[in-house]
Structure 1
Amino acid sequence: MLEEFKKFIARGNVVDLAIGIIVGGAFGKVVSSLVNDIVMPPLGLLLGKVDFSDLYINLSRTHYATFEKAQAAGAPTINYGAFLGNVVDFFIISICIFLVIRQVNRFHRQKPETHRPVEPETKSCPYCMSNIPSAATRCPNCTSHLIHIRS
């Protein structure tokens, strides 16, 4: 069983998957920091000094002055400010993945082959006007000799 596990782990696609998950997790943290620390504060300032992380709906009957106090008291809340931040995270990550996949697809495109002119497969018999193979030296329909005729 240990040998099978070693073979499984040593396969290239398992290692690639592990690397992808690790890099993806790190990338997600960077994007979350970008959104929470760089994008949302100026956006909140433009919208009247709003801190999106403090936006919530209190579902309890008790009033709390801040989100932190409601959270510390264990009050049920709908945290739509955090949700908005996660939506922005999602869009930024989606755009980045789109750009990466688009670039990878450009790298994988092959140069178009140069097309040589295709010689016709048939020619017309000048005597009976029927289509015959280009290499024919005699018409199969009228039995005329076609040695002097070029396509």
Structure 2
Amino acid sequence: MMKEFKEFALRGNVLDLAVAVVIGAAFGKIVTALVETIIMPLVGILVGGIDFTSLELSIGGATVSYGVFLQAVVDFIIIAFAIFLFVKLLNRFKRKEEEKEAVPIPDPQIEILREIRDLLKQNEAK
């Protein structure tokens, strides 16, 4: 059982997934900091300083804090948009790399063979 677990844990896919999780967590912290310290204060200025988290509705003895939910929705939309822009930027760089790789480099031997073929055709025509 230990051998099977070792094979599973050291498989390439599991290691790739672990790296992706760590990088994703770090990226999440960056995006969260961006949203909390830069974007949300600007949004607050645009909407007149409204703080969604303080919005609540009292019904009898219960308090429904729907503002926290609204803030989470706004945060999600901003984070999703930031990730969209980041992925779009990465895809643009990836496409440029693929275009560079797609340009074939002519083989010198093939070029020489083509020249010989063309010379032979010229000699046959004479």
**Secondary structure of 2:44 counterpart:** helix
Give the counterpart letter for 2:72 in structure 1: N
One-letter identity of the residue aligned with 1:61: G
Aligned-partner Cα distance in 2 for 1:41–1:99? 20
Q: Which runs of 5+ in 1 are unaligned?
A: 63-74, 117-147
8 Å contact from structure 2 (residues 9, 15) kept in 1: yes
Counterpart of 1:142 in structure 2 is none
Show the 5 A alignment for 1:98-117.
98-105=84-91, 106-107=93-94, 109-111=98-100, 112-114=102-104
Runs of 4+ in 1 over 6 A off after TM superposition: none
Residues 36/55 of structure 1: CA separation in 2 closer, same or farther (3 Å cut) = farther
- RMSD between aligned alpha carbons? 3.2
Structure 1 counterpart of 2:114: none
**Distance in 2 separating the partners of 1:95 and 1:47:** 19
TM-score, normalised to structure 1's length?
Answer: 0.51
Deviations 1:79-111 (A, max 9, x none): 2x3333323333343334334433444335143
Higher helix fraction (1 or 2): 2
Alpha-carbon distance between aligned partners in 2 of 1:99 and 1:37, rounded to the nearest angstrom: 19
Q: Which amino acid aligns with 2:68?
A: A
1:91 lines up with 2:77 in the alignment: yes
> SS of 1:95's equivalent?
helix
Structure 2 residue runs of 5 or longer lacking an equivalent are 107-123
Percent same amino acid among aligned pairs?
43
Q: 1:82 aligns with which of 65, 68, 76?
A: 68
TM-score, normalised relative to structure 2: 0.58
